[in-house]
Structure 1
């Protein structure tokens, strides 16, 4: 447990305002929820008197003392697991997570996670709740994640995520021939009968919005780019499946494997053997918690997804060549390689 004594004087113009709201302004390095917990625990005094109700109305000009205590991540073991660090400074880490790496220990994954790796490579991060992890990627989703190296940075990053100010853009390969891009705004919540799954729910779900555009079409599949406006569990996987275009290899929402007619056997075998959702968090943009500057990172897709795209392209070319021979030079199949469409609903989404 690490602790810090924070002192301040409540401004006179705050008279009549809630104690938790005033302290959240005075000690902005900590979230309002955390401050509320400290108030309830009796760790806040006004003129030497403890107040345990977050909604207590202040009078103004009181002397406030806050004993800020942060629980260390002592229950988890530090493990020497490699981390691909894309960027690092005193406040944040940006990591390119590999597919197969679980982010946080849980049922079925007590260790061997990104959190265990962070505790090994950054000993001081033990003093930050959840070892600085502020958002997650599914086990078999690869790509960019930001991690806070201290509590103030964590607080600021969580606020950005809550305000939807962190930009996250994903590359995905879906089953089916998607005609055009668009936006899907459908609430997502826990599946009513299968607690391991998420689902689009008309009642009880949390709002979720995904913007998507078509990058490239293949015979029976489509490469898309998705920008998240919200960050619900399994959001892209659930939204794409709801639209009828589940991700290739998704073991939960993928449905039936689709092999294009007359596909070469080695190509078909690769498709059958692709056992993780074809999803990669390729772009991340945020406001630095200390400097206030906008920062952006990009990483290319991992080799397995790049090879999958090459196979689908080669299959397209082989099929076109075969049809060309069958029809003695007359090709009745229209093929437009690398189709790009604009974002269709959100004018503020940056173009590449």
Structure 2
């Protein structure tokens, strides 16, 4: 069954002179460029209440864009009893704490066994919501909090709040190297030029902003807290790699094992064996999409990251004492 959707957003002043098809691709990132362009050509896009069908139309900034379209069911995903750690649920939303080794959405190489399949099993009516209510994703091996919409109105409003950067997402991570202070990485992210499954800082990419602060120093690693201002694919991993502090265990983005000099055999083995990016979505804060109530959720740091943090802390303490 097709779903009626209504999307609204305002063109940013920074988009002055952009083509309309480029502007809506930035404003409605939850949908592919090709789908948005198809809706544009089909007369489903309005600029200040007037239907516009020419992709090359220039925007000036400040225009109200409305998309009135239908989402056809592209495929019927299977409901499967995938265990979900549900932190909170009401009539409109579900908040889950995702474990490692769990893909969020079916795709190439992972046709099922995903969070989406588990949502369909847990709450069958969610099949009537586009993408089963998923509004943002976590990488397969990133753990932590995700909010999912159970209804179309809740999904529309959550997507809008994400676009307006009104949903706060904080992460805990272990980065390689000694970081002296926090900061901000503001670099656009796009597809890697040669490794098509990876992303990279790319001048032709989409704007991306990551804030980070130092939580704890170790000898060759740093525990950090991060806050996303945008939500690009692999954003934290790409940005931390870009500033030469890739995440522990993130081999894809340069996070090869770094063993502190004089480390115990046990710590050295722990570092070598850490086989995922040390990244956890620890806090999620947003206004409820229907009631407007302020909500905040926390997910405890998973055992593998806790054990690694404790081992690095003990190593730092031991070598500090040796120096005294």
TM band (smaller chain)? 0.7 to 0.9
Task: Write the distance in 2 (CA, Å) between the matches of 1:3 and 1:310.
Answer: 49
State the Cα distance separating 1:299 from its structure 2 match. 1.2
Say how many residue pairs are matched: 276
* Alignment correspondent of 1:306: 306
Offset, 1:37:
4.5
- The secondary structure found in structure 1 opposite 2:316 is helix
Q: In structure 1, what is the equivalent of residue 52 of structure 2? A: 55
Which position in structure 2 is the counterpart of 1:243?
Answer: 243
Alpha-carbon separation, structure 1, partners of 2:215 and 2:299: 17
Q: 3-state DSSP class of the match of 2:280?
A: strand
2:255 and 2:304 mapped to 1: Cα distance?
20
Give the 5 Å matches for 1:23-34: none
CA shift at 1:94, angstroms?
Answer: 0.5
Q: Distance in 2 between matches of 1:3 and 1:287?
A: 24
Tell me the distance in 1 between the aligned counterparts of 2:118 and 2:2: 21
Distance 2:152 2:211 in 1: 32
Counterparts of residues 185-334 of structure 1 (less than 5 Å): 185-202=186-203, 204-321=204-321, 323-324=322-323, 331=324
TM-score normalised according to structure 2 size = 0.80
Further displaced range: 249-258 or 260-269: 249-258
SS class of match (2:51): coil
Q: Show the counterpart of 1:167.
A: 168
Distance 2:3 2:302 in 1: 41
Contact 1:136 1:145 in 2 (8 A): yes
Give the superposition deviation at 1:170. Answer: 0.4
Describe the superposition over 1:147-203 as per-residue Cα deviations: whole angstroms up to 9, x where unpaired.
00010101000101111111100001000000000111111111111111111112x
| Alpha-carbon distance, 1:41 to partner | 8.6
SS of the equivalent of 2:81 reads coil
* Deviations 1:289-314 (CA, angstroms, capped at 9, x unpaired): 11112211111101110001011011
- Structure-2 separation of matches of 1:250 and 1:281: 16
Hey, what's the Cα distance between the residues in 1 that align with 2:40 and 2:123? Answer: 27
SS at match of 1:282: strand
Alpha-carbon separation, structure 2, partners of 1:194 and 1:302: 30
> Partners of 2:150 and 2:72 in 1: how far apart?
15
Matching residue of 1:77: 78
User: 1:138-149, aligned counterparts within 5 Å?
Assistant: 138-149=139-150
The 8 Å contact of residues 188 and 202 in structure 2, kept in 1 or not, is answered as yes
Tell me what 1:63 maps to: none
Unaligned runs of 5+ in 1: 7-30, 43-52, 57-66, 325-330, 332-352
Cα deviation for residue 2 of structure 1 reads 5.5
Structure 2 counterpart of 1:23: none
Distance 2:306 2:218 in 1: 14
Deviation at 1:3, TM superposition (A): 6.3
| Secondary structure, counterpart of 1:252 in structure 2 | helix
Q: Distance in 2 between matches of 1:255 and 1:286?
A: 32
Q: Is the 8 A contact 1:73 1:131 kept in 2?
A: no
> Where does residue 89 of structure 1 map in the other structure?
90
Q: In the alignment, what sits opposite 2:56?
A: none
Q: Does the 8 A contact of 2:188 with 2:207 survive in 1?
A: yes
CA distance, structure 2, for counterparts of residue 195 and residue 174 of structure 1: 24
Larger radius of gyration: 1
User: How far has the Cα of 1:40 moved from its partner?
Assistant: 3.7
Which residue of 2 is the match for residue 105 of structure 1?
106
Three-state SS of the structure 1 residue aligned to 2:285 is strand
Alpha carbons of structure 1 residues 128 and 38: separation in structure 2 relative to 1, 3 Å:
farther
Contact persistence 2:247–2:255 (CA under 8 A)? no
Map 1:124-135 → 2, pairs under 5 A: 124-135=125-136
Please say if residues 125 and 150 of structure 1, whose CA atoms lie closer than 8 Å, have aligned partners that are also in contact.
Answer: yes
| Unpaired runs of at least 5, structure 2 | 7-30, 45-49, 54-67
